[in-house]
Amino acid sequence: MPNAAPRPTACLALADGTLFFGHGFGATGECVAELVFNTAMTGYQEIMTDPSYAGQVVTFTFPHVGNVGVTPEDDESAETPAAAGLVVKWDPTEPSNWRSTGDLPGWLARHGRIGIGGIDTRRLTRAIRQQGAPHVALAHDPSGNFDIEALVARARAWKGLVGLDLARDVTCGQSYRWDEMRWAWPAGYSRREGPGLRVVAVDYGAKRNILRCLASAGCEVTVLPASATAADVLALNPEGVFLSNGPGDPAATGAYAVPMIRGVLAADLPLFGICLGHQMLALALGARTVKMNHGHHGANHPVKDVETGKVEITSMNHGFTVDSQTLPAGVLETHVSLFDGSNCGIRMADRPVFSVQYHPEASPGPQDSYYLFERFAAAMRARRAA
């Protein structure tokens, strides 16, 4: 007799009752979250540690995930991975990379995150695109015992990201200074020295590489928690204010962030926002945000600068978008997605206040948009000179 197929040790249950069985790795147990897909070919560790993925399980469309192992240098946040779990086509192989300090399954297990391999990720991705990002329950049990009805019920009972403020869960506990700059061969990460442009970065789930890009642009960065008020920000006498990326519903986070942003705008300071920061700046200016069908998650998204005609290939990770039809007078749309025409950037017509939906710091992704950090620095230098 032929050998029987190995018993599945992991199960992904969608709220509509669809089931995917595969091989579990990493931590054991269960989690519930929104399921999204990411099309990046590299950077799985950066993706898993991006705080913007809180409340989500990530399906990787690229089949080979885990083959370069993990290294602390690639963590985008200091705490445990933000993403609840990951879904891959092939089980992770033994790592082969000179920077590797460990393997992906062991890293996931140490941080309490579940992985499932052996999944038809093309089928799963098509389902997400056609039906929207589903609520799912992901379970890993080495014995292969699953209560299917309970898993589906958990997925159906999960309330989802709409109305959910997750920035408070991923923000820093207290303020701190940042001086590490972008990685460069052969020295790796270096430190910015001497006085710089005083920037307050409000942390709604900030990626480390954003802070590195600010430091590399000549900024002396002080990071404040998401709950910071306008008085907290202005007390540091900043020359510019940065609004970071982050997870959850921008309208929910905006309940306390929008008053702070409006207070900063009243002080007439240069302001730059990315991702969630972009969405909350739009809210502060009077626009609205909406939930997307399946969002944008990847490192190959074409974005057009409508003012110059230039097209940038960008890294994206967002499930909400700014409704460009609600932008008030005096606020201009600067960038649009060439995938679906959704808004990807705004600026005030008469002030150095701007933001983008995508991730110019990449990590992972292309480096087409680093110039935005220099634009922010130039605005602060112009204000200082004036």
What is the residue type of 14? Answer: L
Report whether 39 contacts 298 (CB < 8 A).
Answer: yes
Single residue among 93, 125, 157 that ends a domain in this structure = 157
Residues 287 and 359 in one domain: yes
| Assigned domain for 250 exists | yes
Range list of H helices, the chain: 44-48, 104-110, 121-131, 148-157, 167-170, 208-216, 230-234, 250-266, 276-285, 371-385
CA 210 to chain centre: 11
Specify the pLDDT at position 4: 55
How high is the mean pLDDT of the chain?
96
Neighbours of 355 (CB within 10 A): 28
pLDDT of 2 higher than 90:
no
Specify the pLDDT at position 80: 87
Report whether 121 contacts 59 (CB < 8 A).
Answer: yes
pLDDT of 3 higher than 70:
no
| Assigned domain for 305 exists | yes
Q: How far apart are CA 201 and CA 203, in angstroms?
A: 6
Q: How far apart are CA 50 and CA 75, in angstroms?
A: 8
Cis, peptide link before residue 95, omega less than 30° from 0: no
pTM exceeds 0.85, yes or no: yes
Tens-digit pLDDT profile for residues 203-219: 999 999 999 999 999 99
For a pLDDT cut of 90, what percent of the chain falls above it? 96
Specify the pLDDT at position 78: 82
| Assigned domain for 94 exists | yes
For a pLDDT cut of 70, what percent of the chain falls above it? 99
Specify the pLDDT at position 194: 92
| Assigned domain for 258 exists | yes
Average pLDDT over residues 143-152: 97
Single residue among 157, 182, 198 that ends a domain in this structure = 157
| Residue 92, CA atoms < 13 Å, CB-side half-sphere | 27
Domain span holding position 304: 167-385
Report whether 167 contacts 245 (CB < 8 A).
Answer: no
Rounding to the nearest 10 degrees, give the CA dihedral for residues 215, 200, 281, 349: -70
Q: How far apart are CA 349 and CA 49, in angstroms?
A: 35
pLDDT of 1 higher than 60:
no
123: domain CATH number is 3.50.30.20
* Residues involved in catalysis: 275, 359, 361
CB-based burial label for 212 (10 Å; 0-12, 13-18, 19+): buried
Residues 149 and 178 in one domain: no
Q: How far apart are CA 342 and CA 280, in angstroms?
A: 16
| Assigned domain for 3 exists | no
Q: How far apart are CA 167 and CA 225, in angstroms?
A: 9
Tens-digit pLDDT profile for residues 23-33: 999 999 999 99
Specify the pLDDT at position 10: 98
| Assigned domain for 141 exists | yes
* Nearest residue to 144 via CA among 4, 33, 34, 17: 4
| Assigned domain for 101 exists | yes
Average pLDDT over residues 74-93: 94
Structure tokens at 147: 């209560």
| Assigned domain for 162 exists | no
Residues 241 and 93 in one domain: no
Specify the pLDDT at position 297: 98
Tens-digit pLDDT profile for residues 248-301: 999 999 999 999 999 999 999 999 999 999 999 999 999 999 999 999 999 999
Report whether 135 contacts 32 (CB < 8 A).
Answer: yes
What is the total count of domains within the chain? Answer: 2
Cis, peptide link before residue 142, omega less than 30° from 0: no
Specify the pLDDT at position 339: 97
Q: How far apart are CA 88 and CA 105, in angstroms?
A: 12
Residues 240 and 136 in one domain: no
| Residue 352, CA atoms < 13 Å, CB-side half-sphere | 22
Q: Give, as one character, the DSSP assignment of residue 72.
A: G
Specify the pLDDT at position 6: 77
